Amino acid sequence: MRILNILRFGFSFIVLFMLVSIVGFAQDKVEKEERIREKEVPRIAQEWLYDAFEKVKRPKWYKEFSDSGYSFEAKFQYDDHFHSVEFDSLGNILDVEIEMDWSELKQEVRSSIGNYFGEKYKVHKLIKIQIQYSGEEEDLEDFFDEDENEGILIQYEIEFSGIDLTGDSRIWEGTFDSRGNFLSLRIIRVLEMANVIF
């Protein structure tokens, strides 16, 4: 009984400390992404999403803050693929990104991207492949509704780990055009996790 009482005493303290921590530190304003409710999303963004992806169920909505303002993003599984749909702060569609497997890329695209990796890296390992569709609102809706690809810009974003020819070992994100030609590269920084490493 004594141990139980002590445990109750201890847990009360823990809950109290946690509450103090949450309440005390919740007022920071920094650049970040936060989960939001659907009702906080502009109506036109919701309407576009449910028109283009009629069978979508319970998309998760996020508000993303950056130096230039904020945008909205819906993330959801659809037809066995993970989708991210980005809207500007007024709710206008910006782009749609869909995760896919290497084997789902066209042979021509695979070949071109494969050549890039072969020329630039000693070793590489694919982490995430996304196809990105951007364009005017009506064009994007027609693309997803009726499979019409007029006015649609297609790019591929590929996250990969590898060692480049200088011996630098990193995680990168490469952007490629619709034929798999290299466009740009950026380094993905892995956040420090010393709290669980040491």
Partner 1 sequence: MRAILILLGLCCFPIFSKGQSQTFFSGVFPEVSLTKKLSNENRINFKIENQEILFDNRMGDVESIQFTHYRTDLMAFHDWRLNSTKSMAIGVFYRFQDGADAKRIIQQYALIQRLRNLRLSHRFRTDQTFAKQEKIEVRFRYRLALEIPLNGMTLDPGEHYFVISNEPIFNLQNREFELENRFVFGLGKLYSKGQKLEWSIDYRTDGFIQNDLRTRLWLKIGYFQSF
CB neighbour burial string for 136-169, b if at least 16 within 10 angstroms, e if fewer: eeebbbbbbeeeeeeebebbbbbebbbeeeeeee
Across 24-66, the runs of DSSP E, i.e. the strands, are 33-36, 60-66
Q: Please report, as residue ranges, which positions from 55 to 74 form the binding site for partner 1 (by CB under 8 A).
A: 62
Number of residues that bind partner 1 (CB under 8 A): 39
What count of other Cβ atoms lies within 10 Å of the Cβ of residue 64? 15
Q: Which is nearer to partner 1, 165 or 193 (CB)?
A: 193
Note whether 98 and 83 are within 8 A (CB): yes
Min CB(147)–partner 1 separation in Å: 28
Q: Is 161 in the site for partner 1 (CB under 8 A)?
A: yes
Q: Please report, as residue ranges, which positions from 22 to 61 form the binding site for partner 1 (by CB under 8 A).
A: 22, 25, 28-35
- Cβ neighbors of 137 (< 8 A, separation 6 or more) are 48, 92, 93
> What mask, x for binding partner 1 by CB under 8 A, covers residues 70 to 109?
-----x------x---------------------------
Give contact residues for partner 1 (rule: CB under 8 A): 2-3, 6-7, 10, 13-14, 17-18, 21-22, 25, 28-35, 62, 75, 82, 127, 161, 163, 169-171, 188, 190-198
